[in-house]
Amino acid sequence: MSKEMLNAFAMLEEQKGIKSEIVIEAIEQAITAAYKRQYGQAQNVKVIFDEKKGNFNVYSTREVVDEVFDSRLEISLEDALELNPHYEIGDKIMFEEKPKDFARTAAGAAKQVIMQKMREEERTIIYNEYSRYKDEIIQGTVEKVDARAVYINLGRVDALLTKKDQIPQETYHVGDRVKVYVTDVVLTPKGTRVFISRTAPDMLKRMFEKEIPEVFDGTVEIKSIARDAGDRAKVIVQSHDENVDAIGTMVGSKGSRIQGIIRELAGEKMDIIEWSDDKAILIANALKPARIEQVLITEDGSSLAVVARDQLSLAIGKRGQNVRLAAHVTNSKIDIKAADEFNIDDYEFVGEDGESLDETQATEGVELDESAEVAPEVTSNEATEALENEE
């Protein structure tokens, strides 16, 4: 061991980001392990690194005793007094060890442990680097595409964009730059695994935060998101400033604020929904663009939306998409009923106090007034139309 060792430590720290203290500790452990293999024990051995010379020195500690039973651990008082006349029974004396052929054995063990420590430390460094991207959007490059997944290079790690996390309408080609949402980062024995998605609802939330300052600073809060990625999304928003219109802020003039997000997500249509503390009104808003006549809350907590016959298919949506997304975004169970088939006597409804309502209370208490209680029929359809005109 020499000054070259110190230079090697400095190089490791500079090139790999591995601190010299980590490597020194690994070598000390390796030398101790090698000593134990060669001499059968190491409980009294201490390895000390000489920072000036770049050397590792091995010391054993022996206790001063009257009668020696194990010369590796003990020294007689008589022999101890020859070293120093002040030693007494019970004192501990350190001896530098220079066993034959030990240096070569220690070097081999040290190399093995150092490599292992280097791999572990490098894995930790990469994990720490990418764990800060959890719940954030990161950009990567497509390296490979097969039937199972798209392989995305994120710099120091590769990630798999699986089928369920891909927007169905999108196609990916080697070399494409792709934005993905990091759902999780896990440190495994084989290294750091980064889990990514383009279909996660929170990806849309992060995109709004980036594009719309009022969302980023909390003036407009995104309460909930439901997505059929690449097709349609419903987003509930609430303004915390009476002078700021939540829906108008999200959409922008003629959809100007939302156009970039729609493009990035393969033309995904957006319904921007105004929050209401009244569950019935919130559900009616969420079922837009259908015109809802009534929303009634049953005793079991589920909701019944009553619509005109000509609004029934619009309220349900293609393959049930509209009502499914509305149920998801409001965290409610929603049934749709045509007004000409609705009989209030078939249901039991509850008011805000949890008490059962009679027919008059049910129909008058939660019937929606178009001019006052229902949010304006403003969705990102405006933005979609603007995009279509632009194209």
Per residue in 207-246, pLDDT tens? 999 999 999 999 999 999 999 999 999 999 999 999 999 9
Per-residue pLDDT at 2 exceeds 60: no
Q: State the pLDDT at residue 156.
A: 92
Q: Report the share of the chain in percent with pLDDT over 70.
A: 82
Per-residue pLDDT at 26 exceeds 90: no
Mean pLDDT for 83-91 is 92
Per residue in 131-142, pLDDT tens? 999 999 999 999
More confident residue, 348 or 62: 62
**Average pLDDT value for the chain:** 83
Residue spans per domain, the chain: 3-125, 139-197, 200-276+379-391, 278-374
Q: State the pLDDT at residue 353.
A: 55
More confident residue, 296 or 366: 296
More confident residue, 227 or 114: 227
Residue 198 is encoded by which pair of tokens?
């383009």
3-125: which CATH architecture? 2-Layer Sandwich (3.30)
Q: State the pLDDT at residue 56.
A: 79
More confident residue, 337 or 376: 337
Instruction: Determine whether domain 278-374 maps to CATH 3.30.300.20.
Output: yes
Highest mean pLDDT among 78-87, 107-116, 237-246, 371-380: 237-246
Per residue in 46-64, pLDDT tens? 888 887 777 778 888 889 9
Highest mean pLDDT among 30-44, 334-348, 372-386: 334-348
Q: State the pLDDT at residue 354.
A: 53
More confident residue, 197 or 383: 197
Nearest to 6 by CA among 60, 68, 53, 39: 53
Q: State the pLDDT at residue 368.
A: 41
Per-residue pLDDT at 161 exceeds 90: yes
Per-residue pLDDT at 191 exceeds 50: yes
Per-residue pLDDT at 334 exceeds 60: yes
Nearest to 265 by CA among 174, 384, 127: 384
Per residue in 357-376, pLDDT tens? 544 333 333 344 333 333 33
Per-residue pLDDT at 117 exceeds 80: no
Nearest to 121 by CA among 187, 55, 56: 187
Report the CATH superfamily, name and number, of domain 200-276+379-391: K homology (KH) domain (3.30.300.20)
Is 278-374 in the same CATH topology as 200-276+379-391?
yes
Per-residue pLDDT at 164 exceeds 90: yes
Q: Which of 78-82, 158-162, 311-315, 363-367 has the lowest mean pLDDT?
A: 363-367
Instruction: Determine whether domain 139-197 maps to CATH 2.40.50.140.
Output: yes
Per residue in 60-72, pLDDT tens? 888 999 889 888 7
